[in-house]
């Protein structure tokens, strides 16, 4: 269902602030920030964030479709988004993702880099708070949805923190890692809770698990066959970056994002073409693309390729280009 309400923006500062903040919990942020940390900051920090992000988001997405709590009624609420309106509300996965990513980044870096503890804590709190408030401003969630999402994410972080070094070690060294990284997410996607109507939650979950699966296989291959390209010493948060260093950082980022986006476009076209031929539907048929036998393989293969490219192909290209 589309958003049919008309509204007048009376405060453009809040409007653009919270529209931007809402984007910090969506694909555009994941596909830029998570690879950026891998290419320019520290492999171990990026790995931990991706582990936490994928687990938290899967639990959040499934919880939505199990609890089936509706989003705020419109009217009286004015909804500024359309796509996610078909999803249920509780918990807010924007709030969960923002809390998980900001605080896992803070926890993973606080003992490795020299910066004020208070500054990192405030930055994580401000980031997650802005995203949470954006869900209220855009009319997509109730206060309870947002608080519930943040609390669930916090509890999961507390539970995962004592074992994330062990999980990270197993993902890097276990000979079963590549197989399990593909099979387990696929099983979870194909057995996702069924609804009476179509919701983008299954597709979004497949996207997240696919990207994490591809990245995990990349982590394993890098650890087994190549030396790490970037370590924690290559980018110290407590030091001022000189111009030449900033140029290298930006070059890594833009080269990497270009390759990642190209990979996503190519794999999406190829996989949809194959599935369209197999199941006899035109590529632009949106209803056909929502079917389980199409949506799961299409999104999983596309985004696992993106995750693999970001962790294996792009670093190799950086090394080839002298970046």
Residue numbers annotated as active site:
94, 141
d(C-alpha 80, C-alpha 6), whole Å: 10
Query: DSSP per residue over 112-131, as a string?
Result: TS-S-HHHHHHHHHHHHHHH
Please name which of 22, 28, 95 lies closest in space to residue 64, comparing C-alpha atoms.
Answer: 95
Instruction: Tell me if 61 sits within 8 A of 88, measured CB to CB.
Output: no
d(C-alpha 219, C-alpha 311), whole Å: 7
d(C-alpha 49, C-alpha 291), whole Å: 31
Q: Which helix (H) or strand (E) holds 171?
A: helix 164-173
Peptide bond preceding 233: is omega within 30 degrees of 0, i.e. cis? no
Residues in the chain: 323
Between the alpha carbon of residue 228 and those of residues 14, 167, 215, 223, the distances in Å are 42, 19, 14, 7
Q: Which residue has the tokens 């320019």?
A: 40
Taking each helix axis from N to C end, the angle separating 43-67 and 27-40, rounded to the nearest 10 degrees, works out to 160
Tell me the backbone φ, ψ of residue 305, rounded to 5 degrees: -65, -40
State the alpha helices, DSSP H only, in 174-291: 177-190, 201-225, 243-279, 286-289
d(C-alpha 139, C-alpha 15), whole Å: 12
């Amino acid at each position: 269902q589309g958003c049919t309400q008309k509204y007048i923006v009376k405060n453009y500062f809040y409007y653009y602030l919270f529209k931007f903040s809402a984007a910090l919990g969506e694909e555009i942020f994941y596909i830029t920030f998570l690879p950026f940390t891998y290419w320019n900051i520290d492999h171990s920090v990026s790995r931990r964030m991706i582990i936490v992000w994928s687990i938290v988001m899967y639990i959040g997405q499934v919880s939505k479709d199990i609890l089936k709590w509706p989003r705020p009624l419109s009217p009286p609420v004015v909804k500024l988004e359309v796509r996610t309106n078909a999803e249920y509300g509780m918990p807010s996965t924007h709030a969960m993702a923002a809390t998980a990513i900001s605080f896992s980044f803070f926890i993973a870096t606080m003992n490795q880099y020299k910066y004020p503890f208070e500054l990192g804590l405030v930055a994580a709190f401000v980031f997650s708070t802005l995203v949470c408030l954006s869900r209220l401003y855009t009319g997509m969630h109730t206060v309870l949805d947002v608080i519930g999402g943040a609390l669930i994410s916090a509890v999961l972080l507390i539970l995962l923190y004592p074992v994330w070094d062990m999980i990270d070690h197993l993902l890097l060294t276990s000979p079963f890692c590549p197989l399990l990284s593909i099979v387990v997410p696929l099983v979870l996607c194909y057995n996702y809770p069924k609804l009476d109507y179509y919701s983008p939650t299954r597709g979004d979950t497949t996207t997240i698990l696919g990207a994490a699966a591809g990245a995990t296989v990349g982590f394993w291959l890098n650890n087994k066959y190549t030396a790490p390209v970037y370590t924690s010493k290559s980018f110290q948060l407590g030091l001022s970056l000189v111009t030449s260093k900033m140029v290298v950082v930006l070059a890594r980022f833009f080269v990497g994002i270009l390759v990642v986006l190209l990979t996503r476009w190519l794999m999406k076209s190829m996989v949809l073409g194959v599935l369209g031929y197999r199941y006899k539907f035109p590529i632009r048929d949106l209803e056909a693309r929502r079917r389980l036998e199409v949506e799961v393989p299409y999104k999983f293969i596309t985004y696992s390729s993106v995750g693999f490219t970001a962790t294996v192909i792009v670093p190799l290209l950086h090394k080839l280009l002298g970046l």
